[in-house]
A and B are shown apart, each in its own frame.
Chain A
Amino acid sequence: MSANDAVIEVRDVFKVFVAQGDAQQRRAFLALHDVNLAIGRGRFISLVGPSGCGKSTVLNMIAGLVRPTEGEVRYGGTAVSGVNTDIGYITQDDNLLPWRTLRENVEVALEFRGVPAGQRREQATRYIAMVGLNGFEHHYPHELSGGMRKRTALVRTLIYEPSVVLMDEPFGPLDAQTRVILQDELLRLWTGTGKTIVFVTHDLVEAIALSDEIVLFSRAPGTIKRRYEVPLPRPRDVFHIHADPRFPEFYDRLWNDLREEIGVVQLEAS
C-alpha cells in the first residue's frame, strides 16, 4: 500500500511518559520507540501486543489526545494537532453519561454538533433500532446490562458518521457470549460503510475474526514487530471462525510471534 491512500500515518513516532508524583519520583519511561504505521482508508486493522506496549497510546495520538514526543501523526494528509473530532473513539469503559437516558446519550454528539432536535430524534431512533435497543430509549445506563450499554456506546459513536473509528478493547469487560454477538453486530454495522476501524485487543481470535490486517507490537518500549494480512475471506462467520481451515495455522503463527514478546517479559520478572 502506498502512503497516498493512507488515511492515518504514524511517522517515526517516539513517546516518553513521565510518571506523576513527587519531584523525586518523576521517572520518565519510553512507551513507543520509532513507530511507523500507515492505515489505508476503509480497512479494519487490529493492534495486538503485550500489556503496556503502547497500543492505546497510538490510538490516543490519532485522536489528538496525546502528542508524540518526536515524530508525527498525520490524519487525512495533515498533521494531527489538537483533538481530532473527525473520528469516533470507543473505549473499554462505555463512558455513557449516567445522568442521560439511552436516547439522550445516543443524541449527545449530534447536540455538540448543533444538529436540530427533530433531526437528532429521527437519527437516534434509526440507530437505536439497528442494535435492537428500541423500547429502552428512556432507561438510564445503570438500568441496562453490560451488552446493552456497549451497544449504546457503539451507536452513539456511529451516529455522527466518523470516517475512522478507534476501538480500545471495546468488548474486553463483556462475557464470552455477548462478546461474540457484539463482534458479529460490529461487522454487520461496518460492512459496506467504507469506514476505517483501528481496533486494539488482547484477544487473537477476536483480531483474526474481525480484521483485514493485524499489527503486532513488541513489548515496551513498543515498536511494530510484524504486520499480517488475515487470510480469511469476507463475509466472515464470527461464531464459526475456528472452523475455517486456514484459521489454525494463522493463529499459531501469530501466537508464536506474540509469545516471544510475552515470554521475555515473564523471564525478566522472575
Chain B
Amino acid sequence: MPALEATGRLVGYPTGRGAELLAQVEAQERLQQEADERSTTLGRIVFGLAFLLAWELASGRILDQFFVSKPSHIAAALWAMLTKEALLYHMQFTVIEALTGYVIGAGAGLILGFSLARLEFVYRIVEPYVVAFYGIPRIALAPLFILWFGIGITSKIAVAAIMVFFIVLINTIAGIRSAPAQLIQVARVMGATEWDLVRKVIFPAATPFIIAALQITVPQAMIGAIVGEFISSNRGVGHLISRAAGFLDTPGLFAGIFALLVIVLVMNYAITKLGNHLMRWSPRKAVRDVP
C-alpha cells in the first residue's frame, strides 16, 4: 500500500519529481476508472437494447410469435396489467409473502445456526439430519405447506421461509465455526466475557458467511412465494402468470415475469448495499502496479 504509507510518517513525504508523478498517476487512475465505469454502463444499455431489438425483429419472422411474443406486445400487456388488472395490488402480495418468509426463514436460521454452532455436542448429534433436510429439494414441501396452512398468504410465507431457512442455517454454522480459535483465546486473555466474545469476535467473524447466505436466498424466497401461488391462489404475481398461461396469453406471461424481475432486482440491491456496509472492513482491491 505505497500511496497510503507515503501519507504517514513511517515512510516519509514524497517531494519534487516524485510528488508530481504521484499526483499525476492518481489523477490518471481516477480518469481511467471513471471512463471504465462509463463504458461499462453504456455497454450494458447497448446490450439490453440490442437484445430487445433482435427479439422484436426475430419474432414473427424466425421465431413463432405465439411462443415468444415480442417486446412491444409485452410492454402493452404490462401496461394493461398495470391499469386494468391491478398489477401493483398483486405485486404487493407477492412482495409481502417473499419478504415475510425471508425474514422469518433467515431469522430462524440465524438463531438456530448460532445455538447449534455453540453447542458442540448437540451439533454432532443433529448434523446428519440437518444435512439430510438440506438435501431435500425444498420446493417439494410446497404442496404440504398448502395442505397445512391453507391457500391464503400463510402457506406462501411458509414456503418462502423454508427455502431461506436451511441455507442461512448451514452458512451460519459454517461461519461461526470458522472464527479463528487463536483470536478467541487472545480475546479471553484480554478479559472478554462469553457475551463479549459472541458479540465482538464470533459474530463479526461469521458475517462474511451470513451475508453470502442472505444474498443468495433473496431469489430463493421469491421462488418459494411464486411456486406457492402457482399451486393455488387467487392473488399475487404467480397467480397472474399462471392465469395468463391458462389463457395462452404469452405477452401477459412475459409481463408477469418482468414484474418479478423488478422485485428481485430491488431486493438484491437493498441486500447488497447492506452487505457492503457490514463488510466495509474487508480488503477489496489490491494495489495496482502502474506501468
The chain A residues found within 8 Å of chain B, CB to CB, are 63-65, 83-85, 87-89, 91, 93, 95, 97-101, 108-109, 111-113, 132, 135-136, 139-140, 142-145, 147-148, 157, 160
Contact = CB atoms under 8 A, between A and B. Distances in A.
A109 B186 CA distance: 10
A92 to B, nearest CB: 9
Secondary structure at the A interface, as helix, strand, loop or mixed, is loop
A29 B104 CA distance: 49
B147 interface: no
Contact of B281 (A65, A88, A108, A140): A140
The 8 A-B pairs at the shortest CB distance, nearest first, are namely A142-B283, A109-B190, A99-B281, A112-B191, A85-B191, A99-B204, A112-B192, A89-B189
A216 B281 CA distance: 42
Interface residues of B, number: 28
Contacts of A83: 188-189
A97 B205 CA distance: 9
Contact of B191 (A91, A142, A145, A160): A160
B141 to A, nearest CB: 36
A148 B182 CA distance: 20
A87 B189 contact: yes
Given A83-B189, A85-B189, 15 more contacts: A63-B185, A65-B185, A84-B189, A85-B190, A89-B186, A91-B182, A99-B282, A108-B190, A111-B200, A135-B8, A135-B9, A140-B280, A142-B283, A144-B1, A145-B10
A123 B180 CA distance: 28
Interface of B: 1, 4-5, 7-10, 180, 182-183, 185-193, 196, 200-201, 204, 207, 280-283
B190 A65 contact: no
Nearest to B197: A112
A143 B281 CA distance: 9
B97 to A, nearest CB: 34
Nearest to A92: B182
29 contacts: A65-B188, A83-B189, A85-B190, A85-B191, A88-B189, A89-B185, A91-B182, A95-B183, A97-B201, A98-B282, A109-B190, A109-B191, A111-B196, A112-B191, A112-B193, A132-B9, A132-B10, A135-B7, A135-B8, A135-B9, A136-B8, A139-B4, A140-B280, A140-B283, A143-B283, A145-B1, A147-B10, A160-B190, A160-B191
A102 to B, nearest CB: 11
A178 to B, nearest CB: 10
Contacts of B187: 108, 112
A93 B192 CA distance: 19
Contacts of B283: 140, 142-143
A143 B4 contact: yes
B7 A95 contact: no
A49 to B, nearest CB: 22
A95 B281 contact: no
Given A108-B200, A132-B9, A136-B8, A95 B186 contact: yes
A145 B200 CA distance: 24
Contacts of B190: 85, 88, 108-109, 112, 157, 160
Nearest to B5: A145
Nearest to A96: B183
A82 B185 CA distance: 12
Nearest to B190: A109
Given A91-B182, A98-B282, A143-B1, A63 B200 contact: no
A101 B200 CA distance: 13
A148 to B, nearest CB: 7
A202 B86 CA distance: 76
A8 to B, nearest CB: 15
A111 B193 CA distance: 11
